[in-house]
Amino acid sequence: DAGITQSPRHKVTETGTPVTLRCHQTENHRYMYWYRQDPGHGLRLIHYSYGVKDTDKGEVSDGYSVSRSKTEDFLLTLESATSSQTSVYFCAINSPTASTFTDTQYFGPGTRLTVL
Amino acid sequence: AQTVTQSQPEMSVQEAETVTLSCTYDTSESDYYLFWYKQPPSRQMILVIRQEAYKQQNATENRFSVNFQKAAKSFSLKISDSQLGDAAMYFCAYRSIEGGANSKLTFGKGITLSVRP
């Protein structure tokens, strides 16, 4: 358990409305990531953060913004939600293991977002 | 850019039997990490096993083992003594050894494994 929570776990919203998803971690990890999961695509990176106020784009960042004002929280915002953003969103952190120190990503439980 | 290919969308195995899930990848890097993640119906992404490319020995975790063929860029997952709880979607993923933006995971499309009782 990497101490990652996501909120909300489920959300239904309408096209054009803003939506913010929250990822919270309790173990002071530096790197945090937002992925989206769609059938036939696996998981794809939206944005990532390498520290407080340090963020960068991933491969599918259009229509999304992020913020990280505290180490423990990484927020994903859909400025104006569209139906193409209906997806499952996962937050992840990078964590070295006790035995090998190989950075490994651990995932939160996911948020299912439906945009009508 | 790296790519990960899982060409089999679905597989089925009899309980207690062995099954192998295939994964190939493309990269120009010499050092990297490879992972298999399991996603059961609960949707949680669970790390199954990982392999460092510089290690020649194949990784093993209990009933799960990999066949890592670096020259062929192949990374298959073998599940021995399959159990009903192994039924899930399995994702193969690649990670550069570098940090920063290259620390992201590149995923295959996944394979759905069903286990017959």
pLDDT, one tens digit per residue, over A42-54 is 899 999 998 899 9
State residue A42 phi and psi, 5-degree precision: 65, -145
- Any CB–CB contact under 8 A between B55 and chain A? no
Substitution target from A107, A111, A112 for chain B, most B beta carbons within 10 A = A107
CB contact set of B116 (below 8 Å; sequence gap of 6+): B12, B13, B14, B15
For residue A71, the tally of other CB atoms under 10 A from its CB is 15
Q: Is the pLDDT of residue B72 over 60?
A: yes
The predicted-structure confidence for A70-95, as pLDDT tens digits, reads as follows 999 999 999 999 999 999 999 999 87
With beta carbons less than 8 A apart as the criterion, state whether A108 and A92 touch. Answer: yes
Q: Give the integer Cα–Cα distance in Å for A6 and A89.
A: 9
Rounded Cα gap, residues A26 and A61, in angstroms: 26
- Residues of chain A neighbouring B105 (CB-CB closer than 8 A): 33, 35, 43, 45, 92, 105
CB atoms within 10 A of CB A56: 14
Q: Is B68 helix (H, G, I), strand (E, B) or coil?
A: strand
Q: Do B91 and A41 touch (CB under 8 A)?
A: no
pLDDT, residue A95, reads: 74
Q: Are the beta carbons of A9 and B68 closer than 8 angstroms?
A: no
Nearest CA in chain B to A45: B104
pLDDT at A24: 97
Which residues in chain A are contacts of B100 at CB distance < 8 A?
Answer: 50
A29 band by pLDDT with thresholds 50, 70 and 90? confident
Coil/strand/helix, residue B47: strand
Does the pLDDT of residue A102 top 70, yes or no? no
Q: Which two tokens stand for residue A14?
A: 């309408």
The percentage of chain A sitting over the pLDDT mark of 70, rounded to a whole number, equals 92
Check B43 against A109: CB less than 8 A apart.
yes
- DSSP secondary structure code for residue B59 in this structure: P
Distance CA(B80)–CA(B62), nearest Å, equals 9
- Name which of A51, A30, A97, A31 is nearest B105 in CA terms: A31
pLDDT over 80 (residue B78): yes
